[in-house]
Structure 1
Amino acid sequence: MDVRAMHIANGIVDGPVSGAFAVFAVAALAFCVRRSRADLDERLAPMAGLVAAFIFAVQMLNFQVLPGVSGHLLGGTLAVILVGPWVGALCVSTVLIVQCLLFADGGLTALGLNITNMALIGTAAGYLLVVGLLKVLPKTPGGLAATALIASVVSVVATSQGFVLEYALGGTTQLSLPAVSGTLAGVHILIGIGEGLIAATTVATVARIRPDLVYALRRFRTPAAPVTQPEAPSRKAATP
């Protein structure tokens, strides 16, 4: 089996399972559209376009992990840190759809599978890790970089195991599921480290220059306590 950047080709998973995940992906993305309306404003909307363009460009740069196996940034954790989970899932989905239709990167019948794994499972796992880590790590560029690195590794491995589930439900070849799961997990730990370094560098740079553009900092920053003015001493009426 070719393990290249988790883009599933046509025929690896059978038609019924591919169709079921396509329906699930459409329903999940419709839900993301509804939830993202509350987040989108004049600051987040252009940022979402930049994030999608950045993910698309970086995914074109493959790095070799093992002989015959290459990987690239998937973008889920990077997206949720910069634009949030709902908009982030839509950004990654947009990239996957364009890659499938224009560059044949991933099969058309497997588009629902790829969106489920990379845009939904990847962003969900990344977001849950970001929420947990930012409760204990400092909300600084350094803390955000550490969060991006750790969450990226976990989200990439979770994405690979999403494929294992789909293959268990409708795989078209006879392969050992434990072997597939172990191979994908091992390879994608290395891919996740590469992705984490890219994501950590990117979010730390944005956080230093424009922290107001980083969704995670705005969402999880502890609000400052209101400053109370000391009461002026009461003046007693002068006795005539």
Structure 2
Amino acid sequence: MHIPYGLLSAEVSVVTGALAAPAVGFALWRVRRRYEERTVALMGMLGAYVFAAQMINFPVAAGTSGHLLGAALAAFLLGPAPAMLILGTVLLVQALLFQDGAITALGANALNMAVLGPLTAWGIWTGWRRLLGGRLAMAGRAVAAVASIVVPAAACAVEIAVSGLYPLTVALGAMAGVHTVIGVAEAAITVVILRFLAAARPDLLAPAGVPGGAAHAAAQSVE
């Protein structure tokens, strides 16, 4: 899903960067204002997981790559703002040190993966809980995890198409198909990790800033 050099027009790069920068900046402000030391430590662990998950890339037509994202797990454990900050930091390191994604496309990559990924997962999961309460909670998380891969991939395809390199049907077909399969893998891994945490460390499932007594209720929502 990392966009390399040569795929985006200057206009698309500028617009996506202008959208991503304030979103990630707001996430940083929110984390500094609201979250605790527990959150920072868990952000470090999740950052390592996200970095490792994204290191395995699968070539996709239209010049991009497909890989696991980690946005859903980060959003479920910490909320959207810390997840956005984690993904944004990982993308910056990848672009600067490993040339994984173009510097000129950093705004687009951040918008797709660091902003849309966590927000999609969190939004779908929040809506699921409001509609169904605690019923089929894990299914809701799985659906949200799949969407957290497919939606950013679709956004990537639109950006490539608007840049004029490929028709939308070609870019969208290539990206959406592959990333739906990757999304299923992402959902499976996310569910396994959440079930393990519910059994071994239910305190990690308590929302940041909530007293430890809420951990049991949070763990129950995973079952």
Are residues 191 and 87 of structure 1, via their aligned partners in 2, closer, same or farther at CA, if it must alter by over 3 Å? same
Q: CA deviation at 1:61?
A: 3.3
Structure having the higher Rg: 1
Equivalent residue in structure 1 for 2:134, among 134, 138, 145: 138
Tell whether the 8 Å contact from 1:81 to 1:215 is kept in structure 2 after alignment.
no
1:191 and 2:186 correspond: no
Match of 1:180 among 152, 161, 171: 171
What residue number does 1:152 align with? Answer: 145
- Which residues of 2 match residues 62-101 of structure 1 at below 5 A? 62=57, 71-101=66-96
| Aligned: 1:208 with 2:208 | no
Whether 2:10 is the aligned partner of 1:15: answer yes
| Counterpart secondary structure, 2:37 | coil
Structure number with the higher helix fraction is 2
Percent identity for Structure 1 against Structure 2: 37
Following the alignment from structure 2 to structure 1, what is the Cα–Cα distance between the partners of residues 99 and 36? 33
The aligned counterpart of 1:49 is 44
**C-alpha contact 1:145 1:199 (8 A) present in aligned 2:** no
Provide, for residues 211-232 of structure 1, a one-character-per-residue CA deviation record: whole Å limited to 9, x for no partner.
221256969959xxxxxxxxxx
CA distance 1:16–1:62, shift in 2 (3 Å): closer
Question: Contact 1:7–1:114 at 8 Å: present in 2 too?
Answer: yes
> 1-side partners of 2:197 and 2:59: how far apart?
27
d(CA) in 1 for partners of 2:49, 2:29 = 24
1:40 partner amino acid: Y
- Matched AA of 1:155: S
How many residues end up aligned between the 2 structures?
211
**Cα contact 2:3–2:64 (8 A) shared by 1:** no
Which residue in 1 is equivalent to 2:158? Answer: 165
Contact kept? 1:65, 1:191, Cα under 8 Å? no
TM-score (norm 2): 0.84
* Preserved CA contact (<8 Å) 2:80 2:118: yes
More displaced stretch, 84-93 vs 34-43: 34-43
What RMSD over aligned residues (CA atoms) do the two structures have, in Å? 2.8
For structure 2, the residue ranges without an aligned partner over 5 or more in a row are 219-223
Write out per-residue CA displacement over residues 35-81 of structure 1, whole angstroms, 9 at most, x where no aligned residue: 22344102211011111111111222346899x99632111111100
1:218-237 equivalences in 2 (<5 Å): none
Q: 1:41 to 1:197 in 2, by over 3 A?
A: same
Deviations 1:17-41 (A, max 9, x none): 2022112211111111122234410
Report the 3-state secondary structure (helix = DSSP H, G, I; strand = E; otherwise coil) of the residue aligned with 1:43: helix
Q: d(CA) in 1 for partners of 2:65 and 2:153? A: 14
Within 1, Cα distance between the matches of 2:58 and 2:178?
12
